[in-house]
Structure 1
Amino acid sequence: MIKKYSFAFTFTAVLFLSSFTHSFGQTNTKPFVYGDLLPDAPELAARGEYAVGVQTLDLIHANQLDILNYGKGTDSLYNRPLKIEVWYPAEAGSNELISYDEVMGQNGSPTRPIIPFTFLGRATRNAKPAYAEDSYPLVIVSHGYTGSRYLMTYLTENLASKGYVVVAIDHTDATFRDAAGFQSTLLNRSLDDLFVLNEIARLGNQKDSFLNDLVNSDNTALIGYSMGGYGAVNVAGAGYSPQAAQLFGGMTGGSKALLKRSMGNPEFEASIDPRIKVIVAFAPWGMQRGVWDAEGLAGIKIPSLFVAGSKDDISGYEDGTKAIYEGAVNSDRYLLTYIDARHNTAPNPAPAESLDSARHIDEYLRYADSVWDMRRINNINQHFVTAFLGFYLKDNGAYKAYLDVNANSDKKEWPGFKPRTTVGLEMDHESAN
């Protein structure tokens, strides 16, 4: 938890602004990077054995419905651009500090102008991949509205170091830089995810691609946060309810298009992709708006990990994420709850630039939680996502104990956690029907 002493906030700012870690009067020139371990980090939060490489790719999803300009043109179709970031296991010696270019603010908002900033990671741009006898499982990461492919680098780098190829998407019309009408996110989120899966599979078989023989797209996890979670739940098999189409109001084209992703629609049923083995949904949006019903949630038949704050005021908890968890009756599923946290259970910590009192407070609140230290949340997420993917994607039975934390304990001491460090956490598990 965040300490109440007045120096704690200033101390955090110094960590980022000076790129030095200062502890108990001693200076260390090693900078703190998002995802680095706090003293109370659980066991599986540590990075893995691989160095990490990173590359940026630009994709084009051709002939997509231009929902934001529907009815204004002759065909309302466009070529939808998608920028992705790919982290992957790299040859030894490639774990350099890297600077990521990001922005804060909100496209089109006069009170929140776009402000560029940079932050550090531990990866090497265009490093030589560490090819292995078996190609690595694929993890696709989908941000919220608004966000970016860099919103969860603490997790994307961490998973790549553990033998995954991790692909994070910049969802067009939903990033800080290009935020546009919400209808685009409602329609395109799951379509973007499936398109990126197909593109990575194609590149994995293309001789001149660095992904050739590196990635196994037949063994894929989809991780989504907020609207990314909304997309992940749909891709996993939960067709939208008939009520969901009403989110488009009188926009007939949008309603018809969303119905193609609805339960019972043959096109949706045919799109459920067996290559996607599991989902991780952080604070998935939509349950409070009637996006899913019991029939739809019962369509999720793959293992799922849901993560939420018990005071989530964006996606909801009891009638939001927890209701999705309870309704996914045909999924072997887990629910990790941060007690008293709100919506921000997935992002990186707030950037140093957001600490400036002259900034709009939403630049800080876009990342931060009012109760929990985001670095602590990051470490716990690294731990449990590692266990979940390790068990279900890599078929490593040793990880099961880290998930079934309440199985053989009447005390709140969980495998991999230091004594007295599980306060504020709950983990629920239900087997599939």
Structure 2
Amino acid sequence: MIKNRLLVSILSSILFISTLSISFGQSPTNPFVYGDPLPDAPELAARGEYAVGVQTMDLVNKNQLDILNYGKGADSLYNRPLKVEIWYPAAAGSTDLISYDEVMGQNGSPTRPLIPFTFLGRATRNAKPVTADGSFPLVIVSHGYTGSRYLMTYLTENLASKGYVVVAIDHTEATFRDAGGFQSTLLNRSLDDLFVLDEMARLSQQNDTFLKNLVDSDNTALIGYSMGGYGAVNVAGAGYSPQAAQLFGSMSSGSKALLKRTMGNPEFEASIDPRIKVIVAFAPWGMQRGVWNAEGLAGIKIPSLFIAGSLDDISGYENGTKAIYEGAVNSDRYLLTYINARHNVAPNPAPAEALEKNLSIDEYLRYGDSVWDMRRMNNINQHFVTAFLGVHLKGKEDFKSYLVVDENAEKKEWPGFKPRTSVGLELDHKSAN
């Protein structure tokens, strides 16, 4: 009898594990791909109606200040290269599995050498774009320091399937492969974002690109994570503080180049681009270092969605993302908080290669969180970003209901969440003054 019970127990365990694997789509013929909905994914995490195409494009922003060599040459100018990945609604047909080439590690680090790896996505390389449905809103995605254009494919692919053209930037001198001095990131984030916006608008009007008539650049969202959030908040209207310009000068041989992005500077005020309708800032860096003051944050006048972990130890929470949210008094804004999460609220999950022995733990912690399942975070991000952009870029009035929730997820089930699953979250909202 005991042997029979033991056998039944073992067989039941095997069946449970097999069922669990199937439920998460993890099988040789149907692998789990970053961004796939888990069984407890909220409603708007699901992919949209479109197949997804993807292409890589190399851009060049001419005659830019070479801040890493400032003071070494007469003008210290260079033609700044930017590689971008573009996801877009593709013509009818099945979306293929695609392999993305990425690296772990840190350029120039003796303890963290670059380690190539690949991971799967759901897109078709060089697919023919949809042409019958007009142009699509533009979403520009900006990674952290360091990072890459592939850091958030769970979101970029997802948004493209819902009728957006999504452009993720490899910020030169700030990627895993080419990371350089931090002053390049401080100066170039907002400049890169605005240049890419101009390029997408230009290319959409040219006959010899796949982007012809595809991009509605007058209807743009900017999504940034960490240092990408630093740039997004600035582009949205929050000029940097005098303290930020001083910090930058101390790191760059006395350069005053960042003054052009500070509050009150006429050149900064003239750069506020009405084509950018909203921002989504994941764990934006800078507030805890005095990058903005009250006057600067009051300059944000477009809707904003901030997303952060309550224990963020890189950008800060109470003195970081939440302080930005509180200070953006002229923005209709939301703050989604992952309770007990740290900084990594935006990336893809850690690749399998990050689990290898004898690697720096930073290879895992570049992606992972020690409390939250990143696949779950990814699904929640898909849900709320879909709702937020749907309201403001596509005029989906019915999506507003997903943003009207009880502040504390544990008190009442949130719209779009399955029973017992809206836990560990808070969503705050404040209207513009």
Q: TM-score, normalised by structure 1?
A: 0.93
Q: Which amino acid aligns with 1:250?
A: S
CA RMSD of aligned residues (A): 2.1
> Paired residue for 1:6?
none
> Paired residue for 1:424?
424
Quick one: structure 1 residues 32 and 221, their matched pair in 2 at CA, closer, same or farther if it must change by over 3 Å? same
Q: Secondary structure at the match of 1:63?
A: strand
Distance between the aligned counterparts of 2:375 and 2:408, measured in 1?
29
1:363 counterpart = 2:363 = yes
Please give the residue correspondences for 1:127-166 in structure 2 after superposition, counting only pairs within 5 Å. 127-166=127-166
Deviations 1:37-57 (A, max 9, x none): 100000000000000000000
1:342 counterpart = 2:352 = no
- Range 209-218 or range 374-383, more displaced: 209-218
Native 8 Å contact 1:132 1:214 kept in 2 = no
Q: Secondary structure at the match of 2:167?
A: strand
1:43 counterpart = 2:40 = no
Native 8 Å contact 1:281 1:305 kept in 2 = yes
**Which entry has the higher C-alpha Rg, 1 or 2?**
2
Please give the residue correspondences for 1:30-429 in structure 2 after superposition, counting only pairs within 5 Å. 30-250=30-250, 255-406=255-406, 411-429=411-429
Native 8 Å contact 1:388 1:403 kept in 2 = yes
Native 8 Å contact 1:21 1:32 kept in 2 = no
Q: Which amino acid aligns with 2:226?
A: S
Unmatched 5+ stretches in structure 2: 1-13
Quick one: structure 1 residues 255 and 329, their matched pair in 2 at CA, closer, same or farther if it must change by over 3 Å? farther
Native 8 Å contact 2:335 2:429 kept in 1 = yes
Unmatched 5+ stretches in structure 1: 1-10
Q: Which amino acid aligns with 1:96?
A: D
Distance between the aligned counterparts of 1:28 and 1:270, measured in 2?
54
- Alpha-carbon shift at residue 359 of structure 1 (Å): 1.2
Distance between the aligned counterparts of 1:106 and 1:251, measured in 2?
20
Native 8 Å contact 2:409 2:423 kept in 1 = no
Q: Which amino acid aligns with 1:387?
A: A
> Paired residue for 1:7?
none
Q: Which amino acid aligns with 2:323?
A: A
- Alpha-carbon shift at residue 248 of structure 1 (Å): 2.4
Native 8 Å contact 2:183 2:252 kept in 1 = no
Native 8 Å contact 2:408 2:425 kept in 1 = no
Distance between the aligned counterparts of 1:364 and 1:249, measured in 2?
33
Native 8 Å contact 1:225 1:284 kept in 2 = yes
Quick one: structure 1 residues 214 and 380, their matched pair in 2 at CA, closer, same or farther if it must change by over 3 Å? same
Distance between the aligned counterparts of 1:25 and 1:306, measured in 2?
31
Q: Secondary structure at the match of 1:250?
A: helix
Distance between the aligned counterparts of 1:243 and 1:295, measured in 2?
13
Native 8 Å contact 1:67 1:253 kept in 2 = no
- Alpha-carbon shift at residue 93 of structure 1 (Å): 1.5
Calculate percent identity across the aligned residue pairs: 83
Distance between the aligned counterparts of 1:22 and 1:29, measured in 2?
11
Aligned residues: 417
Deviations 1:359-418 (A, max 9, x none): 111000000000000000000000000000000000110000101112899942110001
Quick one: structure 1 residues 77 and 179, their matched pair in 2 at CA, closer, same or farther if it must change by over 3 Å? same
Distance between the aligned counterparts of 1:25 and 1:364, measured in 2?
23
